[in-house]
Amino acid sequence: MPDLSGKVAIVTGCASGIGAATVRRLVADGARVLGTDLDPVRGQALCGETGALFVQQDVADRARWPQIVATAVEAFGRLDILVNNAGMVSHAGIGDLDDEAMFAAWDTVLAVNLTGTMAGCRAAIAAMRENPGGAKGAIVNIASTTAIAPLPTDVGYSASKAGVRILSKSVATWCAKAGLAIRCNTVIPGATHTGILDAAEVTMPGLMAAVARTSPLNRLADPAETAAAIAFLASDECPFMTGAEMLVDGAAMSIHPGF
């Protein structure tokens, strides 16, 4: 297991799914964690269970990001890790809604998934540059296999997650060229058993089984499996790994769709 002793992390979207599993994993690996989420009840419960600190946050609120980072620094003295996990879907294809509804859905999804991730990176880098002992840190942004093979039924989610891939590379190379030991990588989960999928199953029975079949392993990932990849990228085990993409998709992107 990676040793994260003495490190301080922020994990967004901590109330459930991959975010909750990531908080549990980082705490187990020795990190002190600030978890954030829109849902104060489940977020506080998860953080209370794990010993993490909880703060309510809408990641799309750009003005709030410096305050979130400052809270972590004030509580723990530094910031070493940011996991931009919070995200949402719209379930809207390009021609599914009228103009007003389509653009409202698009703007909301991009504000959370892409602009929120960028704002988090920006605020985290500012704090990591001031870390005792010199600028150092690791940012892990969570994308999706829809960033590679997009969903026709969700243009906003697919586009935003594709944007996260390129955003991470831009952040990684900017930090490297600035001489900062701040890495930025992307985790690309495949079909994972999360709250989003549970909710979708209610209105689309059989969806989970169909999604599971997208992997040659013929199952959904447990969020803890993605959290393990996040913990590795957040650790000091891979200092030359930046601007990279780590697929945790059960080989879904490695096989022709006809097979």
CATH number of the domain to which 50 belongs: 3.40.50.720
pLDDT tens, residue by residue, 32-88: 999 999 999 999 999 999 999 999 999 999 999 999 999 999 999 999 999 999 999
pLDDT tens, residue by residue, 112-126: 999 999 999 999 999
Q: Token digits for 109? A: 């999804």
Helices (H), 77-135: 99-110, 116-128
| Average pLDDT over all residues of the chain | 96
Nearest CA-CA partner of 116 in 173, 80, 64, 47: 64
Which pLDDT value is given to residue 201? 83
Q: Is residue 205 part of a domain?
A: no
Handedness of CA 167, 121, 147, 176 (dihedral sign): positive
Q: At what angle are helices 223-234 and 17-28 packed, to 10 degrees?
A: 50
Residues 61 and 123: their CA atoms lie apart, in Å, by 12
Which pLDDT value is given to residue 175? 98
Q: Is residue 187 part of a domain?
A: yes
Query: Which stretch of DSSP H or E encloses residue 142?
Result: strand 136-142
Please say if the pLDDT value at position 243 is more than 80. Answer: yes
Three-state DSSP class for residue 106: helix
Which pLDDT value is given to residue 259? 81
Residues 223 and 48: their CA atoms lie apart, in Å, by 19
- How far apart, in Å, do the first and last CA atoms of the chain sit? 35
Please say if the pLDDT value at position 2 is more than 90. Answer: no
Q: Is residue 12 part of a domain?
A: yes
The confidence band for 199, taking pLDDT boundaries of 50, 70 and 90, is confident
Q: Is residue 153 part of a domain?
A: yes
Please say if the pLDDT value at position 195 is more than 80. Answer: no
Q: Is residue 204 part of a domain?
A: no
Spell out the residues 6+ positions from residue 161 whose beta carbon is closer than 8 angstroms to its own: 87, 113, 143, 144, 146, 147
- For 182, the domain range is 8-194+222-250
Q: Tell me the one-letter amino acid at 240.
A: F
The confidence band for 204, taking pLDDT boundaries of 50, 70 and 90, is confident
23-28, long-range: CB < 8 A, 24+ apart: 23/47, 23/50, 23/52, 24/50, 24/224, 24/227, 25/224, 25/227, 25/228, 25/230, 25/231, 26/81, 26/83, 26/227, 26/230, 26/231, 26/234, 27/51, 27/52, 28/1
Q: Is residue 20 part of a domain?
A: yes
Q: Is residue 214 part of a domain?
A: no
Considering its fold, how many domains does the chain have in total?
1
Report the length, in residues, of the chain. 259
Share of the chain above pLDDT 90, in %: 89
pTM of the model: 0.96
Q: Is residue 216 part of a domain?
A: no
> CA-CA-CA-CA torsion for 45, 48, 51, 53, nearest 10 degrees?
80
pLDDT tens, residue by residue, 125-176: 999 999 999 999 999 999 999 999 999 999 999 999 999 999 999 999 999 9
Task: State yes or no: is 214 an active-site residue.
Answer: no
Give the other-Cβ count within 10 Å of 73's Cβ: 18
Q: Which position among 65, 76, 106, 157 bears the catalytic label? A: 157
The confidence band for 11, taking pLDDT boundaries of 50, 70 and 90, is very high
Which pLDDT value is given to residue 42? 97
